[in-house]
Amino acid sequence: MSANAAVPTPPRRRVVGYNLLTGLVLGVVGYYVGWWIGHHIHATSIGYFADTNQNDIAVFLGYFLSVVGFLAGLGFLSYPWARVRGYPPSLREKETAGVARYFGLCTDHKVVGIQYLIGIGVFFFIGGLNAMLIRFELLRPGGQAFPAGNYLTLVGLHGTMMMGIMSSAILGPFANYVVPLMIGARRMAFPRIEALTFWLLMAAGTLLATTIFFGGFPTGWTGYEPLNDQANSGMDSYIVFFGLVGISMLLLGLNMIATIVTMRAPGLTWSRLPIFCWGVISTASLMLLASPVLIAALLMATLDRTAQTSFFIPSAGGSTYLYQNLFWVFGHPEVYILALPGFAVVLELLPVFARKPLWGYRLAVAGMLGVTLLSWLVWQHHLFVSGINGDLRPFYMLSTELISIPTGFTFLCGMMTLWRGRIRYTVPMLFCLAWFFNFLIGGLSGVFLSDVPSDVTTHGSFFSMAHFHYTIMGGLVFTFFAAIYYWIPKMTGFQLNDRLGKIHFWTMFIAFNSTFAPLFAIGFMGQPRRVVTYPSHLQFLNDWVSVSAFVLGASMLVFLANFVWSLVFARVPAPRNPWGSRSLEWQLPSPVPVHNFDKIPVFTDDPYGYGDDDGRVPAVVPVGAPAGGGS
Can you tell me which of 94, 109, 305, 332 binds Cu ion, judged by CB under 5 A?
332
Q: Mark the segment that binds other proteins (CB under 8 A) among 203-211, 229-237, 341-349, 510-518.
A: 229-237
Can you tell me which of 62, 69, 218, 501 binds other proteins, judged by CB under 8 A?
218
The DSSP code for 528 is: B
Nearer to Cu ion, 77 or 531 (CB): 531
Hey, is 493 helix, strand or coil? coil
* Smallest gap from residue 505 Cβ to other proteins (A): 15
Nearer to Cu ion, 158 or 332 (CB): 332
Q: Is 502 in the site for other proteins (CB under 8 A)?
A: no
The one-letter amino acid code at 390 reads G
Can you tell me which of 19, 78, 309, 514 binds other proteins, judged by CB under 8 A?
309
* Smallest gap from residue 187 Cβ to other proteins (A): 6
Residue 63 · residue 236 · CB < 8 Å: yes
Q: Is 52 in the site for other proteins (CB under 8 A)?
A: yes
* Smallest gap from residue 239 Cβ to other proteins (A): 12
Instruction: Pick one of other proteins, Cu ion, none as the site partner of residue 332 (Cβ within 5 to 8 A by kind).
Output: Cu ion
Residue nearest to Cu ion (CB): 332
Can you tell me which of 35, 63, 151, 198 binds other proteins, judged by CB under 8 A?
151
Instruction: Pick one of other proteins, Cu ion, none as the site partner of residue 48 (Cβ within 5 to 8 A by kind).
Output: other proteins
Q: Mark the segment that binds other proteins (CB under 8 A) among 115-123, 312-320, 473-481, 505-513.
A: 312-320
Q: Is 240 in the site for other proteins (CB under 8 A)?
A: no
What distances in angstroms separate CA 332 from CA 67, 289, 372, 615, one per listed residue? 28, 12, 10, 43
The DSSP code for 494 is: B
Residue 255 · residue 287 · CB < 8 Å: no
Instruction: Pick one of other proteins, Cu ion, none as the site partner of residue 250 (Cβ within 5 to 8 A by kind).
Output: other proteins
The Cα 519–Cα 470 span in angstroms is 11
Ramachandran angles phi, psi of 528, nearest 5° = -70, 160
Nearer to other proteins, 29 or 258 (CB): 258
Helix (H) or strand (E) holding 32: helix 20-44
Instruction: Pick one of other proteins, Cu ion, none as the site partner of residue 437 (Cβ within 5 to 8 A by kind).
Output: other proteins
Ramachandran angles phi, psi of 504, nearest 5° = -55, -50
Scanning residues 2 to 41, which ones bind other proteins (CB under 8 A)?
A: 2-7, 9
Nearer to other proteins, 32 or 87 (CB): 87
Angle, vertex CA 181, rays to CA 177 and CA 183, nearest 5: 125
Concatenating the DSSP letter of every residue in 86-123 gives TPPPP-GGG---SGGGGGS----HHHHHHHHHHHHHHH
Q: Is 467 in the site for Cu ion (CB under 5 A)?
A: no
* Smallest gap from residue 458 Cβ to other proteins (A): 9
The Cα 463–Cα 446 span in angstroms is 10
Residue 381 · residue 433 · CB < 8 Å: no
How big is the chain by its Cα radius of gyration, in Å? 25
The Cα 134–Cα 154 span in angstroms is 7
CA nearest neighbour of 353 among 437, 427, 274: 427
* Smallest gap from residue 553 Cβ to other proteins (A): 23
CA nearest neighbour of 560 among 135, 125, 165: 125
Scanning residues 107 to 126, which ones bind Cu ion (CB under 5 A)?
A: none
Q: Is 56 in the site for other proteins (CB under 8 A)?
A: yes
Scanning residues 530 to 589, which ones bind other proteins (CB under 8 A)?
A: 530-535, 580
Nearer to other proteins, 324 or 555 (CB): 324
List CB contacts of 340: < 8 A, sequence separation 6 or more.
Answer: 279, 282, 283, 286, 368, 371, 372
Nearer to other proteins, 117 or 206 (CB): 117
Can you tell me which of 27, 30, 421, 630 binds other proteins, judged by CB under 8 A?
421
Residue 167 · residue 247 · CB < 8 Å: no
Hey, is 461 helix, strand or coil? strand
The Cα 328–Cα 378 span in angstroms is 9
Scanning residues 425 to 454, which ones bind other proteins (CB under 8 A)?
A: 425, 433, 436-437, 440, 444, 447-448, 451-454
Can you tell me which of 61, 175, 204, 257 binds other proteins, judged by CB under 8 A?
257
Nearer to other proteins, 206 or 496 (CB): 496
* Interacting residue ranges for Cu ion, rule: CB under 5 A: 332
